[in-house]
Amino acid sequence: MHVLEVQSLQKSYRLSGKVVEAVRDVSFNISAQEVLAFLGPNGAGKTTTIKMIAGLIVPDRGSVAIAGRNPHRQPNALRSLGAVLEGNRNIYWRLTPEENLEYFGVLRGLSGRVARQRAKVLLDRFDLSHKRKTTVQTLSRGMQQKLAIAVALIHEPQLLLLDEPTLGLDVEATQTVKQLVREIAHEGRAILLTTHQLDIAEELSDRVAIINKGKIVAQENTVDLIRQFSGTVYEIELEDGLSRDFLETLGRDRFQKLKSLGALIEKNCIYVRETELLYQALDILKPLAIARIEKDQANLTDIFLKFIREDYYA
Amino acid sequence: MLELLIAQLKWSSIQYRRYASEAIGGVIALTATFYGLFLSASYIGGGSVRFGDRLDSVIVGYVLWSLVIFIMGGIPGTLQREAQVGTLEQLFISPFNATQILLFRAIGDLIIQTFLISIVLIIIMVTTGRWLSFSPALILPFITVVLGAYGIAFAAGGLALIFKSIQQLLGIFNFALLFLLTIPTETWSGTQQVLGWILPMTTGAGLLRDLMARSQPLALPLLGLALLNGLVYFALGVSLFRWAERAAKRRGKLAGY
Ligand SMILES: Nc1ncnc2c1ncn2[C@@H]1O[C@H](COP(=O)(O)OP(=O)(O)O)[C@@H](O)[C@H]1O
Ligand SMILES: [Mg+2]
C-alpha cells in the first residue's frame, strides 16, 4: 500500500478579484522508503500541494490519504505525518532542542515519558546532544534545520514532508541535510521533498515530479528521466534572422509535424530524443538554415528547464 | 489530554522563567498598582471596576479586570506571535485540534499569571501588614466570568486568523469590557434584567459585587444563570473560532498571506 495517495488535487485562490489556479489536477503516490522530489519554479504550486497534504489548506477538489486516512476529516491521519515547512522556523527559538522535542512530541500525541526517551535518541542521532540545553536561537542555521527535521520525526511518522529543506543553508549544512534525508528514507519512511535546487533532487530522489503552473508536466523515475535525455538528445539551432517571430519562420505545418515527433521547441532551438528522429526532424526543417546541431549532455537541470519552457511555449 | 496540559504548563513556565527580564516590567507594574491600591484603595487603571470601597473589594475588582484583559488578548496574541515566528502551522499539524491546544496554552498562561499575582499580593500583604480576606465562594462567580472571557478570546482569535491584525479591535474590546464588568445589571428588572443576563460576563460580575460590596450570600439560581451565560459565550466563541479556522484553511492563509 502507498503511504501517501494524492488524487486530483485542485486549488485556486481569489486574491484582490483575480483567480489564481495554484494547483490543477495533481495526482501522485509515494511508497515507504521512497523519496519523491517535487520540482518546479517559484509559484508552481509546490507549497500549496504540501499544505493540502498536511491538512493546512482545504483543497477545492481531490483527496489526500496518508496511510489510508484523510487528514482533513480524520485528525489521527496527522499521527503519520511530519512536516518541515518552507520559510518557517518550525521550532521555538526560545526553547532548547530538548524542550522543543519534548513539547512537540506530546503535541503529536506521545506521552511525556515516551517523548523524553525519543528526544534523547534523536539528539544523539542528529549529533545535537552537546547542544541539548542551549537555546535554539544561538545554534547555527544548519543545526536549527537538523533540529526541525528531528522534531518532525519525534512521533515516528510514516510520511515526512520537506518543503525546500536546504533553502538558505551553507554547503556543509546542505550536505548534512542530504545525508539525513537518505538515512530517513532508508529506515522505511516515505519522503516528499520540494526543491528548486535540482542537483539535490537528482541526488536524493527515487522519483521526480515536475510541476509548472499548478500542473504536473512530468513524473518519472529519476534515473530513467535522466537516461531518457542524457546522451541521446539532439539540439538543433536554426538561424532566425529572417523573421522577428521564430514560429512564423517555422510555419504552422512544420511546428505540428515536429510536435508529433515528440520534439521540444524553444526559441530557435528544437530538441529531439533519438538519432533516428534527428533525421526526420531535419527532413521537416528543410530548407531552413541551420546554425548548429549538438548532442546534448543533459542533466536534470536541463531536463527540468526544458519541460518548463515547453509548457510555456505550448 | 492531561499530558498535553502538563506539556503546555511546562512550555509557559519555561517562557516566563527564561525571559524573566521581559516579564519583569509587568510584575513591577502589577506591584506598583497593588501597592497604590493598598495605600489609597482608590482609582487606578482598571480601578473603576470596583466591588465596593473596602480594600479587598477594590483588589478583587482589579484582579478580575486585569485577568479578563489578559485572557481576552491571550489567544489572538498567541496566534499572532506564532505566525510571526513561524511555528503556527506546526500547532495545526497535530492529532489534537487547535482549539484544544490553544485552550490548554491559555490555561497554562492563566495559571502562571494567577501565580504571579498571588505572589505579589502576598509580598505586599506581608510588607504592609494589611491582610485581605476572601470568601472561597468568590471563586464560583469568578469562574463564570473567566469562561465568558475565554469565549471572547476564541472569537478574537478567529478574527485574528482571518484579518491578521486586530490590535484596534482588541482596544475596543477592552473598552467594552469596562462597561460589561461595571454595569450594575443586578439592580435591573423586567426586560432589562433579561438583557443583563444575556450580556457576556455581566451576571458573574454582578454576583461578585453582591458578595463583596453588599455582603449578600451567594444566590445559587443567579450563579446557575451566570454559569450558563459563561458556557454559552464559551461555546459561541469556540464555534466562531472553528469556523474561522476552516475559512482560513480554505483561503490558504492560516499563517499569513
Ligand atoms: N493564500 C494565497 N492566496 C492567494 N494566492 C496564493 C496563496 N498562496 C499561494 N498563492 C499563489 O499560488 C501560486 C502557487 O504558490 P505556491 O504553492 O506557494 O508555489 P511554490 O511553493 O511552488 O513556489 C502562486 O502564484 C502564489 O502566488
Ligand atoms: Mg514554495
Specify the 3-state DSSP secondary structure of B46. helix
In what helix (H) or strand (E) does residue A166 lie, and over which residues does it extend? none
- Checking if the pLDDT of B115 tops 80, the result is yes
Domain with CATH 3.40.50.300 in chain A: 4-227
Whether residue B14 lies within 8 A of chain A, CB to CB, comes out as: yes
Query: Residue A237: how many CA atoms within 13 Å on its side-chain side?
Result: 7
Asked if A89 and B86 come within 8 Å (Cβ–Cβ), the reply is yes
Q: Are B144 and B229 a contacting pair, CB within 8 Å? A: yes
Distance between CA atoms of residues A183 and A153, nearest Å: 12
**Distance from the alpha carbon of residue A42 to the mean position of ligand 2, in angstroms:** 7
Compare B169 and A237 and report the one with higher pLDDT. Answer: A237
Domain count across chain B? 1
- The vertex-B134 CA angle with B131 and B136, nearest 5°, equals 145
Q: What is the mean pLDDT of residues B97-126?
A: 88
Cell 522556523 -> residue: A89
Q: What is the mean pLDDT of residues B98-104?
A: 94
Closest ligand 1 atom to A164 CA: 21
Is B71 inside a domain boundary? Answer: yes
Ligand 1: list residues with CB < 6 Å.
Answer: A 13, 15, 20, 22, 40, 42-48; B 251-253, 257
CB-based burial label for B125 (10 Å; 0-12, 13-18, 19+): middle
Average pLDDT, chain B: 84
Ligand nearest to the CA of B249: 1
Q: CA of B144 to nearest chain A CA: how many angstroms apart?
A: 28
Specify the 3-state DSSP secondary structure of A164. coil
Whether residue B10 lies within 8 A of chain A, CB to CB, comes out as: yes
- Cβ contacts of B162-171, under 8 Å, gap ≥ 24: B162/B244, B162/B247, B162/B248, B162/B253, B164/B80, B164/B83, B164/B253, B164/B256, B165/B80, B166/B76, B170/B72, B170/B73, B170/B76
Q: Are A215 and A276 a contacting pair, CB within 8 Å? A: no
Residue A15 CA to chain centroid, in angstroms? 25
Q: Provide the CATH topology of domain A4-227.
A: Rossmann fold (3.40.50)
Say which DSSP state A272 is in.
E
- Single-letter amino acid code for the residue at A269: C
pLDDT 10s per residue in chain A (314 long)? 799 999 999 999 988 889 999 999 999 999 999 999 998 888 889 999 999 999 999 999 999 999 999 999 999 999 999 999 987 789 999 999 999 999 999 999 999 999 999 999 999 999 999 999 999 999 998 899 999 999 999 999 999 999 999 888 888 889 989 999 999 999 999 999 998 877 788 888 999 998 888 999 888 888 887 776 665 678 888 886 545 666 777 788 888 888 888 787 877 888 887 778 899 999 998 888 888 898 866 555 666 666 666 655 54
Is B197 inside a domain boundary? Answer: yes
pLDDT recorded at residue A197: 75
Tell me whether strands A264-266 and A269-272 are parallel, antiparallel or unpaired: antiparallel
Is B257 inside a domain boundary? Answer: no
Compare B187 and B81 and report the one with higher pLDDT. Answer: B81
Question: A-contacting residues of B 129-148, CB under 8 Å?
Answer: none
Compare B15 and B186 and report the one with higher pLDDT. Answer: B15
pLDDT recorded at residue A242: 47
- Checking if the pLDDT of B11 tops 70, the result is yes
Burial A94-105 (b: 16+ CB within 10 A, else e): ebbbbbbbbbbb
Q: Are A290 and A281 a contacting pair, CB within 8 Å? A: no
**Distance from the alpha carbon of residue A13 to the mean position of ligand 1, in angstroms:** 8
Chain B partners within 8 Å of A115 (Cβ):
7
Query: CA nearest A12: which of A23, A4, A1, A2?
Result: A23
Domain with CATH 3.30.70 in chain A: 232-295
Cell of A178: 542530504
**Distance from the alpha carbon of residue B85 to the mean position of ligand 1, in angstroms:** 20
Whether residue A157 lies within 8 A of chain B, CB to CB, comes out as: no
**Distance from the alpha carbon of residue B112 to the mean position of ligand 2, in angstroms:** 38
Q: Are A106 and A112 a contacting pair, CB within 8 Å? A: yes
Size of interface A-B (CB pairs under 8 A): 96
Distance between CA atoms of residues B161 and B76, nearest Å: 8
- Candidate from A56, A85, A108 with C-beta closest to B95: A108
Is B217 inside a domain boundary? Answer: yes
Is B256 inside a domain boundary? Answer: no
Asked if A75 and B18 come within 8 Å (Cβ–Cβ), the reply is no
Chain B partners within 8 Å of A89 (Cβ):
85-87
pLDDT recorded at residue A303: 63
**Distance from the alpha carbon of residue A45 to the mean position of ligand 1, in angstroms:** 6
pLDDT tens figures, A145-199? 999 999 999 999 999 999 999 888 888 889 989 999 999 999 999 999 998 877 7
Compare A49 and B202 and report the one with higher pLDDT. Answer: A49
Q: In sequence order, what are the residues at sequence separation of 6 or more whose Cβ sits closer than 8 angstroms to the Cβ of residue A217?
A: A210, A211, A307, A308, A310, A311
Distance between CA atoms of residues A291 and A238, nearest Å: 5
Q: Whose CA is nearest to atom 3 of ligand 1?
A: A13
Residue B51 sits in which domain range? 2-251
Query: Residue B142: how many CA atoms within 13 Å on its side-chain side?
Result: 19
For a ligand 1 pocket test, name from B89, B161, B253, B254 the mutation site with the most ligand atoms within 8 angstroms of its C-beta: B253
Asked if B87 and A94 come within 8 Å (Cβ–Cβ), the reply is no
Residue A12 CA to chain centroid, in angstroms? 20
Question: B-contacting residues of A 13-32, CB under 8 Å?
Answer: 13-14, 22
- Candidate from B3, B15, B89 with C-beta closest to A85: B89
Is B25 inside a domain boundary? Answer: yes
Ligand nearest to the CA of A43: 1
Question: A-contacting residues of B 71-110, CB under 8 Å?
Answer: 85-87, 89-97, 101
Distance between CA atoms of residues A222 and A16, nearest Å: 39
Cell 475596543 -> residue: B172
**Distance from the alpha carbon of residue A188 to the mean position of ligand 2, in angstroms:** 26
Specify the 3-state DSSP secondary structure of A295. strand
Question: B-contacting residues of A 244-273, CB under 8 Å?
Answer: none
Chain B partners within 8 Å of A54 (Cβ):
89, 93
Asked if B249 and A57 come within 8 Å (Cβ–Cβ), the reply is yes
Q: Whose CA is nearest to atom 18 of ligand 1?
A: A47
DSSP conformation letters of B143-201: HHHHHHHHHHHHHHHHHHHHHS--HHHHHHHHHHHHHHHH--GGG--HHHHHHHHHSTT
pLDDT recorded at residue A239: 82
Q: Provide the CATH topology of domain A232-295.
A: Alpha-Beta Plaits (3.30.70)
Phi/psi region, residue B215 (left: phi>0; alpha: psi -120 to 50; beta: rest), is left
pLDDT tens figures, B60-92? 777 888 888 889 889 999 999 999 889 999 999
